């Protein structure tokens, strides 16, 4: 009786494990697909960084940065602190500035200034968070 019960329990356990493994295949992302997605996200971020930095270091970007009173090189480096979403949004706006013939003159200058102000706010927020953490966090 014990042998029969042990055998039956083993069959049920194996059936449960096999059913679980078979059902899990649809929910697991293959390593190759995961690496491709990560590579695509990294490439997207690198392209967005390049686009935004190009606008910030352009002649119009230099003019707008001087109007706000910010060093454009610091801005160009500070862009790396933006989240992927923020960076993608800025890159899309920067692309429109470079390709849209209507986005010229005062409108273009205002948009570039807005981009610069946004970058400054993010850079300052990160700097304040870091200094607060340094001041308040217990170091081991």
pLDDT computed for residue 45 by the predictor: 92
What is the model's pTM? 0.59
Could you write out the DSSP letters of every residue in 27-80? Answer: GPPPHHHHHHHHHHHHHHHHHHHHHHHHHHTSHHHHHHHHHHT--HHHHHHHGG
Instruction: Please give the mean pLDDT across all residues of the chain.
Output: 74
**Which residue is listed with tokens 């400054």?**
120
In 3-state terms, the chain is what percent helix, strand and coil (to 5)? 85, 0, 15
> 49, exposed or middle or buried, with CB in 10 Å at 0-12, 13-18, 19+?
middle
Which DSSP symbol is given to 81? G
pLDDT digits (tens, 9 = 90+) for 85-130: 888 988 888 787 777 656 556 566 666 777 777 777 777 777 777 7
Q: Cβ distance 85 to 36 under 8 Å?
A: no
How many degrees, rounded to 5, is the angle at CA 83 between CA 61 and CA 127?
Answer: 80
Query: If you average pLDDT over residues 3-30, what whole number do you get?
Result: 62
Q: Cβ distance 68 to 119 under 8 Å?
A: no
Residue 43 pLDDT > 60, yes or no?
A: yes
């Amino acid at each position: 009786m014990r042998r029969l019960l042990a055998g039956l329990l083993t069959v049920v356990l194996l059936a449960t494990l096999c059913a679980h493994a078979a059902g899990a295949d649809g929910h697991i992302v293959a390593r190759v697909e995961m690496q491709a997605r990560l590579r695509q996200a990294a490439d997207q971020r690198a392209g967005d960084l390049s686009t935004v930095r190009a606008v910030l270091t352009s002649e119009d970007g230099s003019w707008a940065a001087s109007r706000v009173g910010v060093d454009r090189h610091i801005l160009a480096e500070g862009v790396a602190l933006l989240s992927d979403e923020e960076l993608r949004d800025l890159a899309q706006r920067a692309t429109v500035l470079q390709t849209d013939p209507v986005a010229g003159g005062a409108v273009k200058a205002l948009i570039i200034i807005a981009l610069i102000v946004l970058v400054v706010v993010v850079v300052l927020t990160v700097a304040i968070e870091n200094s607060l953490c340094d001041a308040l966090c217990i170091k081991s």
